[in-house]
Amino acid sequence: MDFTTVQGVDVPAVGLGTWRLTGESCREAVHTALDVGYRHIDTAQAYGNERQVGNALRDSNVDRDEVFLATKLETKNRGYDDVLRSTEESLAKLGTDYVDLLLIHHPNITTPLRDTLAAMNELVDSGRVRHLGVSNFDVDGLDNARRLSEHGILTNQVQYNPYWSQGELLDYCRIHDVLLTAYSPLAHGGVLEDPILEDIGTRHDKSPAQVAIRWLLQQPNVVTVPKATSRDHLEANLDVFDFELSDAEMDRIRQPSKLRALSGMVKSRLRELA
């Protein structure tokens, strides 16, 4: 496993995203991921699967301190007391004394950001949380969070893939040594039949998904948390460190199109409902 380092913190470059994974399928996916070498697991209060993630961690042969574990505050849990209470509940479900990363899941205009971050910083002081982050924040929101947080902001987790541009945010992250954690790196499956990624993948004996993940990881300050459940897909998503894309290939892969990204999301949702 390769790592990306920001602010002196080593973060495993590829993690497992668990959005829409529930019940036994979630526990099995996390357990398999740990077994094949994942050391970065991403969950959230809103996903409703923290207990299953915790069960997988407990049942694995991997020591807790080898895993970079992240969870996120649900929108309703942004007040000072709610942050403290809900994080304790998350820790109990996860079966751990601490999380490596606690994020604000979405911007929330109804609760002052200062109050949310004050409680999160207290959790760092108490050792219940190692690092703080935000998710789905724009540049201004990230900048404001950084100014308000005593312990800083390690990452902003956002959608980022060949179809969904994050150029301005990534420039900011590089300047200020902040990590960009890319979710939906495969554009909800949209990249899997992309002819450009197929062509480049053929040259490197890699799949379009592996090319898309590699494209992200070759960019400074970027890690990614693709979702997968089968052992084959989990292993394939990790098998991206033995080749390198050229500058020309990197430029060719970037195809900003929110329409294509949203189309992939709709198709993915329809597949799940089928």
Instruction: Of 33, 32, 98, 38, give the one whose Cα is nearest residue 67.
Output: 38
Catalytic one of 38, 47, 98, 172: 47
Q: Residue 232 belongs to what H/E stretch?
A: helix 231-238
Residue 98 catalytic?
no
The SS3 of residue 176 is coil
Q: How big is the CA angle at 218 (ends 215 and 224), to the nearest 5 degrees?
A: 70
Residues 244 and 161: their CA atoms lie apart, in Å, by: 17
C-alpha separations of 218 from 62, 84, 89, 133, 255 in Å? 28, 37, 37, 22, 16
Q: How many residues does the chain have?
A: 274
Query: Distances in Å between the alpha carbon of 264 and those of 17, 210, 230, 261?
Result: 17, 17, 20, 5
Q: Which residues are catalytic?
A: 47
